[in-house]
Structure 1
């Protein structure tokens, strides 16, 4: 029998006595993976069968986004986030699907930024990968199913994704949020189902935008807008529906990355150009005559209670995911926004449940108890706009005001 040296014995001792990795630690996943297409209650009008992912129903009011109009049934599936072994910004898709005449399968992907917010959803098709604004370590896929002729549903048998890094990365985030002056209409449609599967309630609080690039998954505020009326009132509300008029008009983006109508100025909705200038022969993407210039729809609670509007109006909208910085999520149903760090200060708006707030700084003020505990910290989310941190999930390290 051979004799082990002292060095080898020491190495063996270290190997035996070294503590095991924590049970929760997981090895990074590979850059090529197959998406689990098992649907659940968080998905909208889809089901998973032995054949694959398909529409649950192609008839009835609940099969279309409440604000969208049109007759085409649609369904939405959001996959679980996937961690990458190395950062990537280019995601290729390889679906296997049956697509009947007139139907479609649309795959979008997004990435998780370092500040905890998500990039926009970017379309990807075979041979045309999605390129994100920067390299990320976590990606997520979304599948939209559109019914075809006679209500026929497409069926997705499998979906494989491949992540790598493009030679160049186009950064678009900056300290300033994209902001537009647009015409707002009241959505109404109580009892309808939004594009992300939310059933519209009386005096509800959310908005609709005419592009799925900024559509939040159900019960999240991943994409939140700050809407301000001329009366000084503002509401921070999640984007939960598609419309008005269009579904591919991310007019808040620069022309070089805008999905449709890249000849229009940034901040100008296609519907407004059609209504005011006869753009596209005065019609939307579906060929309908545009009868108002709306660039955003407001749920009834946002319209009446948040902004205290009496009629459809011009508003100023900030698309909060288009900038970088600390993000805090509202946990209470509705949160008053005040001019200073106490309830003695005047209320100047509302932050809706699930809304994500861009935090400028934190100030000491009135002590408040809420879902996040008891604290005297107040978050400044705009000039002269404060909310209590007692009702908001707040990241650490925010600078003092």
Structure 2
């Protein structure tokens, strides 16, 4: 049996559950929380490695062992022929707040080279109602929680796992959340393309698709979810932005959460915060000019953009420097979109020239709301418009829910 420790980020349970009652001003729309697994709260439990559902990718359970289902499937953005799959467990309610989870697992087969094997990752729900980043063994996260979720990642043909036992304890005091916009860095963006390929979360890439890839699973959302969404904006010419979910891992690396400070950054802690390893390798011959897999880095990319985000959202014609905001690193109210590609307008009106898009399933910040053109959308008919940032409005008619507290008038 192998043993790993995982720090679990999360939110205090009482506060977590009361946030569900938050109402968006002027609409009567209740904030919605993620569904909680209906079992007895416990700080020791066993993960279900048998049930495979829609948020799991390329895994199967044979004779009580979780293994890869397709040995030819690899995350599209990485362009690396090593198969990978993952299982995301149901959320688990703890009996008492905790920020440290230990994981005991057995029956792990050997990997097939560098960067292969089994990784156990964990996340918790924060005091603002958002999920914290996925973190791996031995890495401290931000705060105690009463709601946790575990992800098992298999990399390489021989990676398997039998049983997984978990235990949660408290090591730190709760944090108080203040509204913050999140981290923003200027990085080089490349076009992912690869239509017909499969992303790390199991999404099959379509023509003019809308999502992004980042070189770390810490910010990887499940398929058709936007827990981890970025705002990507052009840095030259006419300003255009797109809010898009993180659905793939890459380019180049898989352990480069460069947006985090060195104290919590998974790899390359000596690099400045906000500087991708691929950029340092390409520009400064860092790591001998190679990525984590020993490949010579051919461009400084810190983000991959799907074709629709690249061509239609930002109207780029070539790989380019962009400003990226990692929205889950901020706090405050969030709007969750359904399966609609939504125009960003400069005012609360359909007559304004579109400034970009909010991609389907994104979760975006809401600063305040304004009254404007009445729109009939997926969820309601409404004259309310939600302001995401200065000069960026979306129709509330297409917003599935608001979480993180009450939104006031602008």
TM-score relative to the length of structure 1: 0.88
Tell me the equivalent position of 1:79.
89
Q: Is residue 2:406 matched to residue 1:397?
A: yes
Q: Are 1:185 and 2:190 an aligned pair? A: yes
- Picking from 56, 66, 70, the partner of 2:69 is 56
Once residues 230 and 88 of structure 2 are traced to their aligned partners in structure 1, the CA distance between those partners, rounded to angstroms, is: 21
1-structure distance, mates of 2:289, 2:136: 27
Q: Find the residue that maps to 1:275 and give its secondary structure.
A: helix
* CA distance 1:115–1:186, change in 2 (3 Å): same
The structure whose Rg is larger is 1
Q: Matched residue of 2:309: which SS? A: helix
Match of 1:116 in 2: 129
Q: Check the 8 A contact 1:89/1:169 in 2, yes or no.
A: no
TM-score (norm 2): 0.86
Task: Quote how far apart the aligned CAs of 1:42 are.
Answer: 2.9
| 1:83-136, Cα deviation, whole Å (9 max, x unpaired) | 111221111111122322534110100011233211000002xxx4x5321111
How far off its partner does 1:154 sit? 2.2
**Matched-pair contact (CA < 8 Å) for 1:371–1:390:** yes
Distance 1:27 1:50, change over 3 A: closer
Q: Tell me, which stretches of 5 or more residues in structure 1 are unaligned?
A: 1-23
- Distance across 2 between alignment mates of 1:246 and 1:360: 34
Asked whether the 8 Å contact 2:111–2:159 carries over to 1, the reply is no
The farther-off stretch of 268-277 and 330-339 is 330-339
Q: Which residue is 1:335 aligned to?
A: 342
* Correspondence list, 1:40-189, <5 A: 40-59=53-72, 63-102=73-112, 103-124=116-137, 128=138, 130-147=139-156, 151=157, 153-167=158-172, 175-189=180-194
CA distance in 2, matches of 1:169, 1:250: 24
Kindly state the Cα deviation for residue 249 of structure 1 after the two structures are TM-superposed: 0.4
How far apart in 1 are the matches of 2:172 and 2:355?
47
Q: Please state if 1:34 is matched with 2:43.
A: no
**Relative contact order, higher structure (CA 8 A, sep 6+):** 2
Aligned partner of 2:32 in structure 1 is none
| SS of alignment partner, residue 142 of structure 2 | strand
Q: Flag the 1:27–1:283 CA change in 2: closer, same or farther, 3 A.
A: closer
Match of 2:388 in 1: 381
- Cα distance in structure 2, aligned partners of 1:399 and 1:154: 50
Aligned residues: 367
Using a 3 Å threshold, how does the CA distance of structure 1 residues 160 and 110 change in structure 2: closer, same or farther? Answer: same
Change over 3 Å in CA distance of 1:255–1:68 after alignment to 2: same
RMSD: 1.8
Aligned residue for 2:265? 258
Aligned counterparts of 1:216 and 1:40: Cα–Cα separation in 2: 15
**What is aligned with 2:374?**
367
State the Cα distance separating 1:180 from its structure 2 match.
0.5
